[in-house]
């Protein structure tokens, strides 16, 4: 698992999204992310994404937080695309703006275990971000 600072150009993605929260995800009976990942990978969702830029490279994003890490947020899983035209029914689009990020690369490994491990070892361990990235973790 690797954590690096990076600058990214704008990325346009198509994939699946669910609305959840830390409280939902802590409890296996109310967790939404594992079911969404199972749906995404189990129903060959990546193959249904038009205009795939890098087939087989999956992006997951936590976005649209209602407050801080304890509030509800959107969880997105999908792939980078060359165009956001013809989005299939049930899929959503996410644009990640050009800016500096902390990039955490995990894997290879089995989902969702590899994602959980990345959060435990890297994300939750960060109390603050590097100063170049604003110093705050939202």
Question: Which CATH number belongs to the domain containing residue 78 in this structure?
Answer: 3.20.80.10
pTM of this prediction exceeds 0.85: no
**Residue 24: which domain range?**
9-98
Question: Is 82 within a domain?
Answer: yes
Question: Is 134 within a domain?
Answer: no
For the cut 80, the answer to whether the pLDDT of residue 10 exceeds it is: yes
Question: Is 41 within a domain?
Answer: yes
For residue 126, give Cα distances in angstroms to 46, 99, 136: 31, 19, 10
pLDDT for the residue numbered 2: 73
Question: Is 3 within a domain?
Answer: no
Mean of the pLDDT values across residues 5-19? Answer: 94
Question: Is 16 within a domain?
Answer: yes
Mean of the pLDDT values across residues 89-115? Answer: 85
Question: Is 1 within a domain?
Answer: no
Higher-pLDDT residue of 79, 115: 79
Question: Is 45 within a domain?
Answer: yes
Strand, helix or coil at 18?
Answer: strand
pLDDT for the residue numbered 82: 96
pLDDT for the residue numbered 135: 55
What is the count of structural domains for the chain? 1
Predicted confidence (pLDDT) per residue in 52-72, tens digit: 999 999 998 989 999 887 899
Cβ proximity of 119 and 22 under 8 Å: no
pLDDT for the residue numbered 137: 52
- Alpha-carbon gap, residue 127 to 138, rounded angstroms: 10
State the average pLDDT for the chain: 86
Predicted confidence (pLDDT) per residue in 122-136, tens digit: 777 776 655 555 555
Mean of the pLDDT values across residues 26-41? Answer: 91
Question: Is 69 within a domain?
Answer: yes
């Amino acid at each position: 698992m690797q954590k690096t600072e990076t600058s990214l150009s704008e990325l346009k993605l198509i994939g699946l999204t669910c609305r959840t929260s830390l409280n939902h995800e802590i409890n296996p009976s109310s967790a939404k992310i594992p079911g969404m990942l199972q749906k995404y990978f189990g129903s060959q969702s990546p193959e249904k994404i038009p205009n795939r830029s890098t087939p087989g490279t999956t992006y997951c994003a936590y976005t649209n937080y209602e407050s801080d890490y304890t509030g509800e947020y959107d969880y997105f899983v999908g792939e980078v695309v060359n165009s956001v035209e013809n989005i299939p029914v049930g899929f959503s689009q996410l644009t990640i703006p050009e800016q500096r990020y902390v990039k955490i690369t995990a894997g290879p490994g089995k989902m969702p275990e590899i994602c959980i491990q990345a959060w435990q070892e890297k994300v939750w361990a960060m109390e603050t971000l590097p100063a170049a990235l604003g110093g705050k973790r939202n």
